[in-house]
Structure 1
Amino acid sequence: MTPSPNSAHPVAPDVPPPVAESSAAMCGAPCWVSLMARDLGAALDFYGAVMGWTFRPGSLGEEFRVALADGVPVAGIGALAPSLQVAVAWTPYFAVEDADITAARIRERGATVAVGPVALQKGRGALAADRDGAVFGIWQGPLVTNWEAWRDRAPAWTRLHTRDAFDAAIFYGEVLDWASRRPGCCEVRYEHEEVLLSHCGHIVARLASGAVEAAPDPGLRPYWHTHFAVKDPRSHIEKARAHGATVLAEGTASSGPWVRLSDPDGATFTLSADG
């Protein structure tokens, strides 16, 4: 039975339920992506039909589900409080050792912590926006799945579209301890006009310049954009349209074809070839 998201509940980030692996082991790396939907049942129907995902309950209550692709946890989907008038969007979460220290660093550098840090099950999470307005989350504690398997299989990855990728890399590097030479920290390098974030040789995020802070089109403003890896992105187009999605763009990259979609609630994401 699909839970009803219509009852009011505290607004909190949809974060991983606890298992054995901790955020401290991959400090600064993306460790999860989540969607807060206005109609949870409709979101589950859409992503189940278009992506072929199945869902299991999360540990945060009836308003949350963990999406599985071939049995592997991919993402979280939760119900957004009806009274909250915000854009529905996919949000990446970054692993941190101490959410309170990270939140203080965010504020010290002129960015915003919108929610939290709050205690959720055995961890702590927060939602923030960087200095250019791109929304992201932080998570301290046990993760939903074996992170290295999630990283290596790459069911989801994220790219920051921002005003200045180098400036953004400095901000996130200071906040998330990138390139700090600490055990488990991420490395940063420049390649093909992007800043690449890697962990143990695996690319886990990309930062690209070109977004315009005051652009009237939200898709041109700074934001983190989630990519889901699928075998054939174009094979999902007709099914997505049939279930209320809008095809925003499609093309071919060095890794293969890609398709950018907007779900019926307005959340954008890209399907990329998994190679």
Structure 2
Amino acid sequence: MNDDMTSPAGSRTKNVLSTRSVFGAPCWVSLTSRDLTATEEFYSAVLGWRWRPARLGDRFRIALADGAPVAGIAAVAAMWQMAVAWTPYFAVISADQAAARVSERGGTAAVGPISLPPGRAALLADRDGATFGVWEGELFTDWETWRRAQPAFIRLHTRDAFDSAIFYGEVLDWASDLPGCCEVHYEGNEVVLRSRGDVVARIESGALESAPDPTIRPHWQVHFYTDDVEACARAAELNGGSVLSENADEAVLRDRDGAQFTVTSRRTP
């Protein structure tokens, strides 16, 4: 999968890393959209993103924060009858193996694995229905540069954090004896995932599997850093989005299409 597919790899650097260097960790985020122009305008206003085209065609864009690629946008939700949502991708050694593990454990392989040189990708769902992706191959840039450009971390809101940690751990080789794997810790009521010492994901209990409200169904929530949470929230409201919750350090927002994401203050530990 390359940047043309709004996915984890593509723009090559002299020191391109592969998923073997950060396997099991989040390595990219992507958004399905109904209207590319409206999506660009919204995230430019809220997060200050700029855009570059992708060779795949007019339906795809790469979001840039301070010149660094941070996310992929694909205006395919209406065409492919997909939900409008942010999706995290996890680095794996083998996309085929990860997809097989998901199916064996009661999850779903929605798309793929498919070959997208220089790697392979799959769009999956865990056994509670939370959607995520896996990517095998070269990363688009240095992983730490990507993380510090804007994505802060991701959080899984799910029915049972402990059960979900076991599921993802078995699929993604968390807390295994493989060199460089992610570390899993239980802190309070959350499962905390660390890679290279950084917190990259959190899992918390409470979401209801069959809840009618998508905000309380199991889902992965993408958090983006910002210097001004309040300004992002007001910009979201002024540009056709909405604010689901807000405090000094964090706001949960919806874009014009209904995709949910969180802005988190850079001051937050």
Provide the TM-score with structure 1 as the length reference: 0.90
8 Å CA contact 2:19–2:135 kept in 1: the answer is yes
SS of 2:155's equivalent? Answer: strand
Partner of 1:87 in structure 2? 83
8 Å CA contact 1:13–1:137 kept in 2: the answer is no
2:256 is equivalent to residue 264 of structure 1: yes
8 Å CA contact 1:194–1:209 kept in 2: the answer is yes
Mark the CA change 1:152 to 1:146 in structure 2 (over 3 Å): closer, same or farther: same
Partner of 2:37 in structure 1? 41
Partner of 1:14 in structure 2? 6
2:161 is equivalent to residue 165 of structure 1: yes
Deviations along 1:58-112, one digit per CA (max 9) or x if unpaired, are 3544322111111122111112153433320000000001111111111111100
Mark the CA change 1:61 to 1:122 in structure 2 (over 3 Å): closer, same or farther: farther
Q: Percent identity?
A: 57
Matches within 5 A, 1:193-272: 193-252=189-248, 257-272=249-264
Amino acid at match of 1:65: R
SS of 1:236's equivalent? Answer: helix
Partner of 2:116 in structure 1? 120
Partner of 1:67 in structure 2? 63
8 Å CA contact 1:152–1:202 kept in 2: the answer is no
User: 2 CA distance for matches of 1:81 and 1:240?
Assistant: 21
Unpaired stretches in structure 2, ≥5 consecutive residues: none
2:21 is equivalent to residue 29 of structure 1: no
Mark the CA change 1:81 to 1:230 in structure 2 (over 3 Å): closer, same or farther: closer
User: 2 CA distance for matches of 1:209 and 1:184?
Assistant: 27
SS of 1:25's equivalent? Answer: coil
Mark the CA change 1:47 to 1:189 in structure 2 (over 3 Å): closer, same or farther: same
SS of 2:194's equivalent? Answer: strand
Which piece of structure 1 moves more, 133-142 or 36-45?
36-45
8 Å CA contact 1:96–1:102 kept in 2: the answer is yes
Amino acid at match of 1:46: F
Partner of 1:111 in structure 2? 107
Q: Which runs of 4+ in 1 moved over 4 A?
A: none
User: 2 CA distance for matches of 1:153 and 1:65?
Assistant: 17
User: 2 CA distance for matches of 1:198 and 1:167?
Assistant: 18
Matches within 5 A, 1:123-134: 123-134=119-130
User: 2 CA distance for matches of 1:83 and 1:74?
Assistant: 24
Unpaired stretches in structure 1, ≥5 consecutive residues: 1-11
8 Å CA contact 2:181–2:195 kept in 1: the answer is yes
8 Å CA contact 1:158–1:206 kept in 2: the answer is yes
Partner of 2:134 in structure 1? 138
Provide the TM-score with structure 2 as the length reference: 0.92
8 Å CA contact 2:68–2:149 kept in 1: the answer is no
Q: Of 185, 191, 195, which aligns to 1:189?
A: 185
Shift of 1:181: 2.4
